[in-house]
Structure 1
Amino acid sequence: MPATEYQGSFLGRISIRRNQVIAMDGNHEQELEDLEHFQKHVSDRFSELLSPPPEDVHADALLSISWLRKLLDVFLCCDAEFKAILLMGRDPSQISKPPLDRLIPELLERAVKALDLCNAVTNGVESIRHCQRLAEIVVSALENKPIGDGQAKRAKKALTSLLSAMNLDDKEGTNTKTAERSWSFGRRGASKERAPVRSLSYQVAKNWSAAKQIQAMANNLVAPRGNEASGLASPVYIMSAVLVFVMWALVAAIPCQERNGLATHFPVPKQLSWAHSMIGLQDKIGDEWKKKEKKGMAGLLEEMQKLEKLGQSLIEFTDSYQYPGETEKVEEAAAQVAELAETCRRMEEGLVPLQMQIREVFHRIVRSRAEFLDVLDQESSATEGVVKQTKAFLM
């Protein structure tokens, strides 16, 4: 069943109880069923990202633009189902009791850090688009027949700029005019801060680190044990793991500032059935990170890897080219230019929709965080009201 279909079925079933107050003791079997469905959906979605169905001949390459878009769709679906379990038709007092009184604020703090990463990744996509434009100049210069000396020089200049842009040191940031960073939610550490959300176009500060941000999100990410494993602590942990993984994959794929020390894994217990595919993806991406040692700006995005490989080959061609050129080398270069043109086409078609999805994820995180804060505020107000009434009665 497609993701949207079983998501709709899942949310529809829970919406039947929208106006009911769910008592944990009286509806424990229903709770367990909802948790089981949620875990299965998470498992199925990540399984498709790791191993697409055999009949899918157009399966997307790992960490390609289209693959990242599917990953963001998975996040949005998981977020919707997670909120359905935790918030839909539920007594607010249930998410203010232990252990949720600790786990929910931790999740909301991770959400703030995820917003900052969305800002950084958005800037990274802009740097990728700059590389795409340089690659298009190369294609324009070299697809003419025959190739003149002037066209070869023009292509070489663009290729030099392209390879230079792809190998910037992380500490230089994604923009040479980096402005001081504005946090997504006003002052740091204020879990209930309701300051206006900043635009995704804001730059990050020179001392900001994507790797440290991911590490901070993974801190205290501990799977529930004992009785907590079958309660509401479980979906909170699952959603936290999904959030951290999605942000980690984005940072690994897309140019981001200061990725030195980016962990190749974060802890997810192997005995959890829903986590098998997520762990498999971590292994694959981590191996790519180690193998290519991508500590610079290029990242592991499939299309950027193609640009780098083709760019290095073509700059050798243009460096030694003299009209009319050797037939064999000219034909080899023509094939590489055609491949470069196809890569540019995929980037042209996919980068803007990817930016829009990152923006959608950003605003979804903002809304979800606000919804949880509203519920917590309602419970806090209700508790204060009871205390006041009790005091008045005793007086």
Structure 2
Amino acid sequence: MSPSSEHNGSFLGILSFRRYQIVSMDVQQEQQLQELEYFQNHVSERFSEFISPSPPPSDPLLSIPWLRSLLHVFTSCETEFKEVLLTTAQISRTPSLEKVLTETLDRIVKALDICNAVVNGIESVKQSRRLAEIAVTALKQRPLCSGSVRRARRALTSLLTGGSNADAKDKSSSRRRTTSRSWSFGQRGNVNVSKNWSAGKQIQAMAANLVLPRGAEASGHAMMPVYIMNSVMVLVMWVLVAAVPCQTSSVPVAPLQLPKHQSWASAALNVQERVGEEVKRKEKRFGGLMEEMQRMESIGLSLVEFTERFRFPAEEEDEGEVEEKVDEMDEICRRMEVGLEDLQRQVRAVFQRLVRIRLEIVSVLDQAPAI
């Protein structure tokens, strides 16, 4: 073979290889765009199904079943996000992407702390349920005597006054029970939670630098999914903090400015607005807006009034009135007995998912080629 033909053959080989590279890149980019579109549609569908369940009736806002459904939405979105993240791991690591992923790692650490605070808060709700059960048992005694009524009043008073101090009690119980492993990362030498730690402040910090990608950034295959998943995570953590009594000084009414023109954001915004109205409207005597706790408080106040005016022997009319309230309280307690365990288990599962996705993001940052 002549040098000329050898050169031409080499040139044609290089040209063919480059064409193959271009085709491969086009296929990869098309796959990434499909993944992005699928992910946005998935988030939109999950939230739309959540706020407009079929068939009705839907679970009451901020009830235990409603909160569990919201966590199902989160885990479904997180599963799909992981797939998108792995697909986009081959792209060049731009400074903008590296920045938002690093911010996501910090946001996840804050979410881990919130999950632990919520798990501890559910324990305080369980204690309130046990006090309500004591009152129910006492007020079901027949004939209703002064001793049973006094026992019920003590339990109800502890439930109502203890609930109003839930934040302070949670702080001390968290310091007693929490280990350095459970409170996120980087605190191995300190087994106590800072007195200044606040779930509300954590939410504000998580939402502070969460900005919608614009211009060239918005067209990046990874930027938008990361933004969407961060928004979903902040929203879900905010709802948990609003619903469950935990260590917090205040709960922001609307932590996120979501882009209304995007379908996924429109559905998520509906959740934020509905919960935000409850945050503004209801007095948080228990440090949480969980629907079952709100009903328990309302019934508890009514039963305390009955115990204060009770005189033995009880009038039939009074016994009939209190019996209806006691049955309602009993029904709430029975639903909470199973529901709280399931909710607590689900929050722990979310904690584990957050740990795993954090490791996935670290892996993406370590392996993606920098430009």
TM-score range, shorter chain: 0.7 to 0.9
2:186 counterpart of 1:186: yes
2:314 counterpart of 1:325: yes
Contact 1:120/1:203, CA 8 A, preserved across alignment: no
Aligned to 1:285: 275
The percent of aligned pairs where both chains have the same amino acid is: 50
Distance in 2 between residues matched to 1:24 and 1:316, nearest whole Å: 73
TM norm structure 2: 0.86
Deviation at 1:261, TM superposition (A): 4.9
How has the CA–CA distance of structure 1 residues 128 and 91 changed in structure 2, closer, same or farther, with 3 Å as cutoff? closer
2:233 counterpart of 1:232: no
2:205 counterpart of 1:216: yes
Q: Secondary structure of 1:185's partner?
A: coil
Contact 1:148/1:323, CA 8 A, preserved across alignment: yes
How has the CA–CA distance of structure 1 residues 334 and 91 changed in structure 2, closer, same or farther, with 3 Å as cutoff? closer
1:50-103 per-residue CA deviation (whole Å, 9 max, x = no partner) reads 2222x234x211111111111111111111100101114x554x2622421111
Aligned AA for 1:292?
Answer: K
Deviation at 1:328, TM superposition (A): 2.3
Distance in 2 between residues matched to 1:214 and 1:117, nearest whole Å: 9
Q: Secondary structure of 1:228's partner?
A: coil
Q: Secondary structure of 2:226's partner?
A: helix
Tell me which of 163, 170, 176 is aligned to 1:174. 170
Distance in 1 between residues matched to 2:92 and 2:199, nearest whole Å: 31
Tell me which of 119, 124, 132 is aligned to 2:121. 124
Distance in 2 between residues matched to 1:264 and 1:36, nearest whole Å: 27
2:344 counterpart of 1:347: no
Aligned AA for 2:78?
Answer: D
Greater RCO, 1 or 2 (C-alpha within 8 Å, sep 6+): 2
2:150 counterpart of 1:149: no
Contact 2:74/2:236, CA 8 A, preserved across alignment: yes
Aligned AA for 2:107?
Answer: R
Aligned to 2:69: 70
Distance in 2 between residues matched to 1:320 and 1:300, nearest whole Å: 29
Deviation at 1:298, TM superposition (A): 3.4
Distance in 1 between residues matched to 2:120 and 2:80, nearest whole Å: 29
Aligned to 2:15: none
Aligned to 2:9: none
Aligned to 2:156: 159
Aligned to 1:190: none
Aligned to 2:38: 37
How has the CA–CA distance of structure 1 residues 184 and 143 changed in structure 2, closer, same or farther, with 3 Å as cutoff? same
User: Is the helix fraction higher in 1 or 2?
Assistant: 2
- Structure 1 gaps of 5+ residues are 1-21, 188-194, 387-395
How has the CA–CA distance of structure 1 residues 244 and 24 changed in structure 2, closer, same or farther, with 3 Å as cutoff? farther
Distance in 2 between residues matched to 1:141 and 1:203, nearest whole Å: 38
Aligned AA for 1:40?
Answer: N
> How do 1:55-134 and structure 2 match up within 5 A?
55-57=55-57, 59-88=58-87, 90-92=88-90, 94=91, 96-134=93-131
Aligned to 1:264: 254
Aligned AA for 2:261?
Answer: Q
Distance in 1 between residues matched to 2:322 and 2:93, nearest whole Å: 64
Contact 2:235/2:255, CA 8 A, preserved across alignment: no
Deviation at 1:378, TM superposition (A): 3.0
Distance in 1 between residues matched to 2:359 and 2:32, nearest whole Å: 24
Deviation at 1:274, TM superposition (A): 1.0
Aligned to 1:136: 133
TM norm structure 1: 0.81
Count residues in correspondence.
345
